[in-house]
Structure 1
Amino acid sequence: MTSSAGDFYDSLAPDYHRIFPDWEASIARQAGALDGLLRSELGPGPHRLLDCACGIGTQAIGLARAGHRVVGSDLSPVAVARAAAEAAARGIGLPVVAADMRRLPFRPGAFDAVVCADNSIAHLLTLQDTALALGEMRRMLRDDGLLVLTLRDYDDLRRTRPASTPPQVSYGSDGRTITFQLWHWHADGEHYDQEYFQLLTQGEGWEVRVRQAASRALSREQLMEAASAAGFTGLDWRTPDATGFYQPVLTGRATG
C-alpha cells in the first residue's frame, strides 16, 4: 500500500458518508448481510471481530450494534478517529487503532473473524504486499477462524476497462452531493489510477473536491491463490445475490 493511500483516506474521511445515498441505511444493510454470513459460518455468537479496514465505521458500527465484539483498524488515523466518534454518538463502544493491514498490532489468534471490506485490499499494488496482508489476517485468527473479504468484480472490469463509475447522488443537511470516479488504466490492464470526484452544492453552484488513489484490479484467481498461500482453506466466492452484500465476498478458514 503506498503512502498516497493513507493520504487519500485521510482526505476523504470527513466526506466518506457522502458516497452513500443514506449512510445510516447502508450501515444497517451491510451489517445485516455480514452478520448473517458470520452467524451461518461460526454459529450464533457473539463473535470477536477485527475489521482491519474499518474506514469511518460503515461495517464495524453495524456489526457492533448487532452484538459482536468488534475492534476496528485502518491505515488512516483520521478515518479511525471518525469511526470511534460515530460509534460513540450512537451509544456503541468501538475500540480503534490506526494500523497498516500488513502489520497488524494485535495478539495472534485473538479473533474469531477478520473482515476486510469495501475493496480495501485493492490498494495493495504488489503480490508481495497482498501476501503480507493476508498473512497478517491469518495470524490474527484462531484456528478455524473466518476470513470475510469483499472486492469489486475485477474479472469483469479487467475485460471492459471502464473509464468511470456511474454518478451517485446523496442528500444531507448541507445539500446534495454527486460522487463519481474516473479510472485511468495502466498498460498492464491490472493497475489503474482513480480520480475521485465529489461535487457539493455551494450556493447556486458547485464545490468540486478531487482526490487521487492507485488500485490493483485483482482477479478472483489471484486473490484465492494468495489466500491459500497465506494458510486459508475452504475458499469460496459468494455473489451479492447470495449474501445481500453489495460486492462479491471471499470467505475462507484459517488453518494451522
Structure 2
Amino acid sequence: MLDSICLTLANSIDLTSGGWDFTDDEGLPARPTSQVIRTVLFNIAMDQALEEAKGQIPFDSTGWDEVSIPDFLDGVAEAYATEQKYRTEVAEELARRDATEALPGTDHSLEEWQGLHPAPAPQPYGISPAGAERWICDWMIHMGAADATTTPVSGDGGIDIVATGYVAQVKLYSSPAAIAEIRELVGAAAVLSEAPRLLFFCSGGFPAQAESFADAVGMSLFQFKPETGEVTASNQNAEALLRTGLLI
C-alpha cells in the first residue's frame, strides 16, 4: 500500500512548479522515484512524531535520526497490535463479569445457570421446522429465559416462542429471511398487552437491510445451525444478549 501511494505521488508531481529540485545526469528536471518519495514521507512522519511526543513521553531522542524506515513501520505495527490486544482483553473481562452476575429472580449467575441448563445438542442429521422451534426454545432456556415455551403450531400469529419479557419467531430456511417477515413480527407483538423484546431466529441468515431495520426497532436477529449447535448474532442487539443472557 505504501509503495503504491509513493508511486502515485511521484507520478503526479508538477515538474514545472519549481517545488522539487530533482535533475537527471544531464541536469534536466527529472521525476523523483517512488523510493525518494517514500524517504520524504518517512522524514515528515518522523519529524511530526518526534514533535508531538515532546513533553508527553519521557524518552531520550538520541539516535532518533538513525531509526530506519522498516524499524519505524514495525514499531507502528507493534503499537497497533498491543492496542488491539488490550481492547480484546477488556471486552473479554466485561463479558466474564456479565456472565458471573446473578440472573434476576435466581441465585445463579448466567454461567451457573448454563451449567444446570446445558445448550441443546447438535442435530447432525437435520431437523424439522417444528423441531427447530423446540430446539431454539431449549436454547433460550439455556440463555436464562427459564419459562420459555413454544406456541401451538397453528394460529400462533407469527410468534413461535414466548417467555417472560420475550417473544421469538423461528424460520428454518436455507436462504435469508425476507425483511417483510421481520416487519410482521413487529406487528404481531404490537397487539400484546406488554411490550416484550423481539427475537428473530433464521437458519439462513438475514439481508443487510433487515439488520438495519431490526436495530432501529430494537429487535435481535440470530442465525442458528442445528446441525452444529451454533447460534450467532446478526446485529448489535443480538450481540449484547449473547454476552448478558436473556435477562429481564
- Give the TM-score normalised by the residue count of structure 2: 0.30
- Give the TM-score normalised by the residue count of structure 1: 0.29
- Computing the radius of gyration from Cα coordinates, the structure with the larger value is 2
1 or 2, which has the higher helix percentage? 2
Which structure exhibits the higher relative contact order, with contacts defined as CA atoms closer than 8 Å and separated by 6 or more residues? 1
1 or 2, which has the higher strand percentage? 1
